[in-house]
A and B are shown apart, each in its own frame.
Chain A
Amino acid sequence: MLRCHIPPQCAPAPLARRGTLPTATAAVRCARPPRAVVASAAAAAQVAAAVPTAERRGLAERLRMGSLLDDGLSYKESFVVRSYEVGINKTATVETIANLLQEVGCNHAQSVGFSTDGFATTTTMRELGLIWVTNRMHIEIYKYPAWGDVVEIETWCQADGRIGTRRDWIIKDLANGEVIGRATSKWVMMNVNTRRLQRVSDEVRDEVFVHCPKTPRLAFPEENNGSLKKIPILTDPAHHSRLGLVPRRADLDMNQHVNNVTYIGWVLESIPQDIIDTHELQTITLDYRRECQHDDIVDSLTYIEEAEEESSNGSLFAAPHPEEQRQFLHCLRFAGKGDEINRGRTVWRKLAR
């Protein structure tokens, strides 16, 4: 199941509870039904008008220090970590990193001509009524930057299977070129009218992927890496939880949906305080399943995940992690045992104090 971008044509939330919507397996379940969708030239024109004027773009681009690489296949941008993006550890928070990944992804899309309304669609996509929806996000951070550090993020996208696309990032400390983080995300295309997943047709593929590497390039090339690990359904009672989380207005993005990054914050809400005090988030994986809007109430649940070890006869058994590492599974769901919104996994490493 997928997170969907609901176009701004959506009606304000009905007070009825979710779960009454039909559950066709191939369809994307939305938290609320859309109004009539306008997928016409008029809409395309409206979107095109949102593209900044050349002058404004030039000014921002000069300041941004971001540009396509020479081969045009990836995009690199540098960011200074600002004071208010830094958390109690005096280092950038994972939400800051996620925000920067999103920003550089948007800027990449914009620089190759995708729309700037927040949907990053091509002309053909708009004509066909197609939008991107996020499926999975996986971020690994090896070293958190501090206030004033400059990080350089390179991003690119490529096809992923028949219906999907992936966007990868590599984060470097600009001072010494050290890789301090990597991330990857999976996206699928959805038809706003039918709300069904749609294969990337050849004409769309040409438009979208002309700017992407032809040979696969992965931020996580190693086999069996964390970005591929499945996140199971969580059925046991949670070890820790934080109930009744409510989206703030500040959590809404420019399309009235809860920002991707807010989910990260909610996942972290139910991590026990002693972990937060003594450990640092190394990896976070989120599977997006449903969308969340302003008047929803969310429960955040955390489960301790034991490591898997192979015993001598080859079967797996659960064992505690090494002292330096803790691992959790997460579930965000609508309050009161409602439907799943996200599933997640986090891995924490002990801080050297």
Chain B
Amino acid sequence: MGALSLCLIKLKLVGLIEPLTNEQAVPQCLSVYADIIRKASPEECNTVRGTDEQSGHAPIALMATPASQSAGRITHRLCFFGNPEKTKSSILSVERCDNGGGRGGRNIRCANAVNGAVKINGKAADVRSSAAHPVTVDSDDDDTFRLGKFVEGRLVYRQRFVIRSYEIGPDRTATMETLMNLLQETALNHVMSSGLAGDGFGATRQMSLRKLIWVVTRINIQVDKYSQWGDVVEIDTWVASSGKNGMRRDWIIRDRRTKKMIARATSNWVMMNRETRKLSKIPEEVREEVLPFYLDRNIIAGDNPNPNRRIEKLTDATAESVRSGLEPRWSDMDVNQHVNNVKYIGWILESVPLNVLIEYHLTSITLDYRRECRQSQLLESLTTMSSTGMPSPSLSSADLQSTHLIRQQDDKAEIVRARAEWRCKEHH
């Protein structure tokens, strides 16, 4: 192992989870094999934090792993470890690799690498090269299942996606909903891969203990170019603090083929108690958890003189069109039994005049989430289109701007405010 500059050890854990305590099963179930991967620089390494559950060590040094799959995710199949030389501590272990969302998950008591020797639950593992599963890992390939990887140390998380046929809309490009879904997926994988994940979707361990969840308050997405079926997009994401009790998450979307940025987004989050539904300050323990992951880099605010410019609240008097009777389908609900964030974009676009949808590209949309929506509510969507007379927050100039409101039909309580910008299609 010493000869390898960076070593990828895959533990083939298929079917072996249960008998890990069985002494005989241990060497048998370890088809541990080492593959030499490219001579990656440490910056390209994935990092996982873990604790040694058995000895109760505090969170130990960050462990560099070379490949994109990290222990917090889909790890009932594969676990990755890095070259122990790269680590600061002599003992590495990863605990509780379970697949977050599933029923019960599948726990793996994983391995310790002590000064280069790999042990599984204390038993020495036979590390050898195996030709049985050659894996060519080159710098362009993600791991086999397209999970992301950390870049820039451990601060930026990157993931690639192929645009699927059903993510394409009637104008033959990926829809804004698709992009938002992919942003959400990257964000969740970021949290999972950081080893921070608690039991919820995106909540950290300390948050789950306190029944806290992240709730998005605002998101702004700017799109320069929409992808087509079969395009590969690469999404980078990172987090930063936002005020005293908020968090900001930013994304960049790149076309993998042209390497150009095609979209970017920024979002603001606050913490809420999932039972009382009241906002909460960030507890000190959570702050400690997330602080090492903060990267204070702005992707949109830099261009934008006033990113938090308030969005006007439309009324029946000021709205050009109102569409009522919008009913969430049961497939619109997320795991928390609330209308999925992304669905609002669909409803907003429903009330935009058809000629706008056909003749213009949606270049920017800002959503201001005011209130949650449970399924039983009927909703209304209000829209006002206006030509640009106002300063444009996005880089490229817009031909049209629009303001939107989604509210509950019965008591007119507002759910989401939005502002969008449009550019005529011929201008490309």
Stretch with Cβ within 8 A of B (4 or more), from A83-91, A283-291, A328-336: A83-91
B229 in contact with A116 (CB, 8 Å): yes
Residues of chain A lying within 8 A (CB to CB) of residue B166: 99, 102-103, 253, 259, 261
- What's the minimum C-beta distance from B396 to chain A, rounded to whole angstroms? 24
Chain B, Cβ-Cβ closest to A106 = B165
Write the A315-340 contact mask toward B (1 if CB under 8 angstroms, else 0).
Answer: 00000000000000000000000000
- What's the minimum C-beta distance from A266 to chain B, rounded to whole angstroms? 8
Say if the beta carbon of B101 comes within 8 Å of chain A. Answer: yes
- What's the minimum C-beta distance from B355 to chain A, rounded to whole angstroms? 11
Residues of chain B lying within 8 A (CB to CB) of residue A210: none
Report B338-380 residues with CB < 8 Å from chain A CB.
340, 342, 346-347, 349-350, 357
**CA A175 – CA B169 in complex, angstroms?**
33
A90 in contact with B103 (CB, 8 Å): yes
A147 in contact with B184 (CB, 8 Å): no
Q: For chain B, which range describes its interface: under 10, 10 to 19, 20 to 34, or 35 or more residues?
A: 35 or more
Say if the beta carbon of B70 comes within 8 Å of chain A. Answer: no
Question: Known: A78-B145, A87-B333, A254-B172. Contact between A146 and B181, CB under 8 A?
Answer: no
B230 in contact with A84 (CB, 8 Å): no
Question: Known: A65-B144, A248-B346, A254-B170. Contact between A56 and B231, CB under 8 A?
Answer: yes
A265 in contact with B329 (CB, 8 Å): yes
Question: Known: A249-B350, A268-B330. Contact between A84 and B257, CB under 8 A?
Answer: no
Stretch with Cβ within 8 A of A (4 or more), from B29-37, B71-79, B82-90: B71-79
Say if the beta carbon of B128 comes within 8 Å of chain A. Answer: no
B99 in contact with A146 (CB, 8 Å): yes
B145 in contact with A86 (CB, 8 Å): no
Main secondary structure of the interface of B (DSSP, over half): loop
Say if the beta carbon of A43 comes within 8 Å of chain B. Answer: no
**CA A315 – CA B168 in complex, angstroms?**
51
Which of B181, B232, B325, B333 has the most A CB atoms < 10 Å from its CB?
A: B232
**CA A63 – CA B354 in complex, angstroms?**
35
Say if the beta carbon of B112 comes within 8 Å of chain A. Answer: no
Report A105-154 residues with CB < 8 Å from chain B CB.
106-107, 110, 116, 118, 146-150
Residues of chain A lying within 8 A (CB to CB) of residue B350: 248-249
B331 in contact with A93 (CB, 8 Å): yes
Q: Contact partner of B101 among A52, A83, A174, A248, CB < 8 A?
A: A83
Say if the beta carbon of A305 comes within 8 Å of chain B. Answer: no
Q: Contact partner of A103 among B164, B184, B337, CB < 8 A?
A: B164
Report B112-171 residues with CB < 8 Å from chain A CB.
140-142, 144-147, 160-162, 164-166, 168-170
- What's the minimum C-beta distance from B72 to chain A, rounded to whole angstroms? 10
Say if the beta carbon of A230 comes within 8 Å of chain B. Answer: no
Say if the beta carbon of B15 comes within 8 Å of chain A. Answer: yes
Write the A66-91 contact mask toward B (1 if CB under 8 angstroms, else 0).
Answer: 00000000000010101110111011
B230 in contact with A150 (CB, 8 Å): no
B230 in contact with A116 (CB, 8 Å): yes
Report A243-276 residues with CB < 8 Å from chain B CB.
244, 248-250, 252-256, 259, 261, 265, 268-269, 276
A148 in contact with B101 (CB, 8 Å): yes
B335 in contact with A86 (CB, 8 Å): yes
Chain B, Cβ-Cβ closest to A95 = B331
**CA A268 – CA B99 in complex, angstroms?**
28
Say if the beta carbon of A18 comes within 8 Å of chain B. Answer: no
Say if the beta carbon of B201 comes within 8 Å of chain A. Answer: yes
Residues of chain B lying within 8 A (CB to CB) of residue A146: 99, 101-103
**CA A253 – CA B178 in complex, angstroms?**
13
**CA A53 – CA B100 in complex, angstroms?**
38
- What's the minimum C-beta distance from B216 to chain A, rounded to whole angstroms? 14
Instruction: Give the number of residue pairs across the A-B interface with Cβ within 8 Å.
Output: 141
- What's the minimum C-beta distance from A273 to chain B, rounded to whole angstroms? 8
**CA A150 – CA B75 in complex, angstroms?**
11
Residues of chain A lying within 8 A (CB to CB) of residue B100: 147-148
**CA A29 – CA B298 in complex, angstroms?**
55
- What's the minimum C-beta distance from A159 to chain B, rounded to whole angstroms? 24
Residues of chain B lying within 8 A (CB to CB) of residue A261: 166
Residues of chain A lying within 8 A (CB to CB) of residue B299: none
Report A198-253 residues with CB < 8 Å from chain B CB.
244, 248-250, 252-253
B185 in contact with A82 (CB, 8 Å): yes
**CA A82 – CA B164 in complex, angstroms?**
12
Residues of chain A lying within 8 A (CB to CB) of residue B177: 250
Residues of chain A lying within 8 A (CB to CB) of residue B295: none
Residues of chain A lying within 8 A (CB to CB) of residue B169: 249-250, 252, 254
- What's the minimum C-beta distance from B12 to chain A, rounded to whole angstroms? 11
Chain B, Cβ-Cβ closest to A65 = B144
Q: Contact partner of B102 among A78, A90, A93, A254, CB < 8 A?
A: A90
A55 in contact with B14 (CB, 8 Å): no
Please give the residue numbers on chain B whose beta carbons come within 8 Å of chain A beta carbons, in ascending order: 14-15, 73-74, 76-77, 99-103, 140-142, 144-147, 160-162, 164-166, 168-170, 172, 175, 177, 181, 184-185, 188-189, 201, 229-232, 256-257, 325, 329-331, 333-335, 337, 340, 342, 346-347, 349-350, 357
Please give the residue numbers on chain A whose beta carbons come within 8 Å of chain B beta carbons, in ascending order: 52, 55-57, 59-60, 62-65, 78, 80, 82-84, 86-88, 90-91, 93, 95, 99, 102-103, 106-107, 110, 116, 118, 146-150, 174-176, 244, 248-250, 252-256, 259, 261, 265, 268-269, 276
22 residue pairs A–B, Cβ–Cβ below 8 Å = A56-B232, A59-B232, A60-B162, A80-B146, A83-B189, A83-B201, A87-B333, A88-B335, A90-B101, A90-B103, A90-B335, A106-B165, A146-B99, A147-B101, A147-B102, A149-B74, A249-B349, A250-B346, A252-B169, A254-B229, A265-B331, A276-B330
Question: Which 8 residue pairs across A and B have the least CB separation, nearest first?
Answer: A147-B101, A146-B102, A148-B99, A252-B170, A99-B166, A84-B181, A60-B230, A106-B165
